[in-house]
Amino acid sequence: MIYLLVFLLSGAVVVVAGTALARHADAIAEATRIGRLWVGSVLLAGATSLPELTTDLAAVRLGAPDLAVGDLFGSSLANMLILALLDLMPPRGQVLRNAGAGHVLAASLAISLNALAAVLVLVGLESSFLWIGPGSLLLFCAYLAGTRATYLQAVNGHGVVAEETAAPRSRLRPALYGFAAAALWVLLAAPAFAWSAKGIAEISGLGNTFVGTWLVGLATSLPELAASLAAVRLGALDLAVGNLFGSNAFNMAIFLPLDLAQPGNLFAAIDRGHALTGLFAVLLTSLGLAAIVYRVKGRYQMLEPGSVLMVLAYFGALWTLYRHTAGG
C-alpha cells in the first residue's frame, strides 16, 4: 500500500510541475525567437525527461538495471501514446494535422537513436573504456549531433513556425527562473518513482522488465503528458509535439549516465527482451512521424497512420512484451 501511495503522490507533484514547465517554455520560445519546435524538442524535452534520468539512476543503484532500461524504452512508447491521445481530444485531429513539417528531423533522430539502442541491447557488448561502454557513448554523441542539427534548422527558419510577435526581452529572465524552479520540483519528486516501482514489481511478480516498460515508463512520462497538454491548451502545438519527439531522443542519451552508474557494461547486464520494446518504440515513433506527414483524409482510420493506429500499436506492444516476459 505504501508503494502505491508514494507512487501516486510523487506523480501528482510531477504533473503540476510539468504544467508549469510548458507555460514557461512557451514564454522562453517567444522571448528568444528561437521557435517552439526547438524549445520543445530540446529544452522542454530535457526537463520533462528528468524523471527518467533520476528514477533510472536510482534503479541502477538499487541493482535493478532492467527496471531502468525498461523505463527508457517504455517512456518512448508512452510518449507516442500521449501524442495519439492528444490528437484524439476534441476537436479531433488538430495536433497531428497542424503540426509543422519541421518535426521530421526531431522524429527521425528519435527513431534512429531508439533503433540503435535496440541493436546494442541485442549485441550486448561487454567491453568498456574508462568505465564507459562504447554503445552508451555512441548514443550520447549521436544525440548531441542530432540536437545541433535541430538547432541549426531552427535558427535558419526551415520548418519552424514563425512567431508573429516576440515577447519583450524582459520576460526572458522570469521565464527562465520559473522553468528552472519547475524542473527542480520534477527532479526532486522523481526518485520516489524508482523506490515505489521496484516495490510494486516485487509484490506483483510481473518482473522488472515488464513493470519498467509499462508502469514506470507510463509514470515517468507524466511530465510529458502535463506539459504537452498545457501546450496544446496554449495553442502551442509545435511545443507539444516537439516535447514528445524530443523526449524519445533524450531518453536514449540517458544510457550514458546509467552506464557510468552500473558496475561493468550496462548493455551486458540487461535482459535482451528490451530490444523488443525498443523496436516497438521505433514503430510507434515512425507512426507518429507518418501521421504528421500524411495529410490525406481516408475512410479506414485504423489502417492509416494516425492516432487510432498508434493507440492500437501501443497496447499491442504491451501485450507482446507481457507474453514474452511474464506470460511466456
pLDDT in tens, 36-84: 888 888 889 998 888 788 878 888 888 888 888 888 998 899 899 999 9
Parent domain of 85: 2-325
**CA–CA gap between residue 204 and residue 31 (Å, rounded):** 48
Per-residue model confidence (pLDDT) at position 194? 58
User: Taking the model in full, what pTM does it have?
Assistant: 0.84
Per-residue model confidence (pLDDT) at position 288? 92
Per-residue model confidence (pLDDT) at position 93? 73
Please provide the average confidence, as pLDDT, over all residues in the chain: 82
Per-residue model confidence (pLDDT) at position 324? 72
Residues 6+ apart with CB under 8 A from 14: 51, 185, 186, 189, 190, 222, 223, 226
- Residue carrying the nine cell digits 540517458: 254
Residues 6+ apart with CB under 8 A from 40: 25, 29, 231, 236, 238, 239, 240, 241, 242, 243, 246
Per-residue model confidence (pLDDT) at position 165? 45
- Do residues 248 and 285 touch, judged by C-beta distance below 8 A? yes
- Residue carrying the nine cell digits 509514470: 219
What parts of the chain have a pLDDT lower than 70? 1, 126-130, 157-170, 190-191, 193-195, 197-198, 200-202, 204-217, 295-305, 325-328
| CATH number of the domain to which 109 belongs | 1.20.1420.30
Could you give the number of structural domains in the chain?
1
How long a stretch of residues is the chain? 328
